[in-house]
Amino acid sequence: MFRYFWVAEELLPPGLGFGMFSVAHCAWLAALALGIFGMCRGYRALGSAGRSRMRLILAFSLPAAEAARDVVIAAQGVFYPDYWPLHLCSAAMFLYLGYALRPNAFCGEVLYSLCLPGAAAALLFPNWAGITPLLQFQCIYSFLYHGLLVGGILMLLTAGELRPKPGGLKYPLLFLLAAVPPLYWINLKLGTNFFFLNLPAPGSPLEPMAKAFGSPGYLAPYGVLAAAVVSLFYLPLWVRSARRRRAAQKIG
């Protein structure tokens, strides 16, 4: 049962992975949903000192866990550039650490609009499905890492500490403008796939786009989808802001 527990993904024989939206996958999602609910409830019940401590513990735990995973993989001689912390969810741990140390609009808005949906999408469409067995350290790590990331952001939102603003859209746009061009070049040079700019995640909604438009053609609908998701996250904020302006005008 635990024969392949510490074996790196690249060294696993084929046919050991779990199915996307299989019973096992759905069980993971249900367990993480309960854990995230508990995180949010527990965080809201804490005082300011307790909340600060919980934020910092989580913020330092994410990069520490990634470093430990990398050590295990490197010891097996398969630490390739794909493992560099340049994926969106890897960038999220640095943004979360920055926000935990000093809450700021840039980190907060990017966490809300890009990292939260990105981590949720990774859980729904895990690119490690079909490759890693359930009882394998990278599989467990990936589910827990993305689950903690989603929970860590949601606990800030539900506690009212992270308050995205209608004008905050500029921050994720600036982040993407700064990150996408160099990452696309790095992908071409190293054969990596950071931000899934060159190839879609298997089984994700990006896969039909790649089949229809090829690469790099699928970047156009990918960009439209990303813009739609980010806009959807800001839509309630824009609607609320517009209502407040109309109410203020009526009073005035």
Average pLDDT over residues 57-84: 97
Q: Judge residue 13's burial from the number of C-beta atoms within 10 Å of its C-beta, 0-12 exposed, 13-18 middle, 19 or more buried.
A: exposed
Do residues 185 and 174 lie in contact, with contact meaning Cβ atoms separated by under 8 Å? Answer: no
Residue 252 and residue 248: Cα distance in Å, rounded?
6
Q: Judge residue 185's burial from the number of C-beta atoms within 10 Å of its C-beta, 0-12 exposed, 13-18 middle, 19 or more buried.
A: exposed
Residues 6+ away with beta carbon under 8 Å from 70 = 79, 83
Helix (H, G, I), strand (E, B) or coil at 217: coil
pLDDT of res. 195: 94
pLDDT of res. 206: 85
Residue type, 142: S
Residue type, 234: Y
Whether 93 shows a pLDDT value over 70: the answer reads yes
Whether 100 shows a pLDDT value over 80: the answer reads yes
Average pLDDT over residues 146-152: 98
Reference 162, options 70, 99, 249; nearest CA is 99
Residue 91 and residue 115: Cα distance in Å, rounded?
8
Residue 197 and residue 87: Cα distance in Å, rounded?
10
Do residues 181 and 115 lie in contact, with contact meaning Cβ atoms separated by under 8 Å? Answer: no
Residue 208 and residue 200: Cα distance in Å, rounded?
9
pLDDT of res. 244: 74
pLDDT of res. 24: 94
Average pLDDT over residues 54-75: 97
pLDDT, mean over the chain: 93
pTM for the whole structure = 0.93
Between 70-84, 122-136, 149-163, 200-214, the lowest mean confidence (pLDDT) is in 200-214
pLDDT of res. 1: 58
Residue 50, number of CB atoms within 10 A of its CB: 12
* Res. 21 pLDDT band, cuts 50 70 90: very high
pLDDT digits (tens, 9 = 90+) for 186-225: 999 999 999 999 888 878 888 888 888 887 888 888 999 8
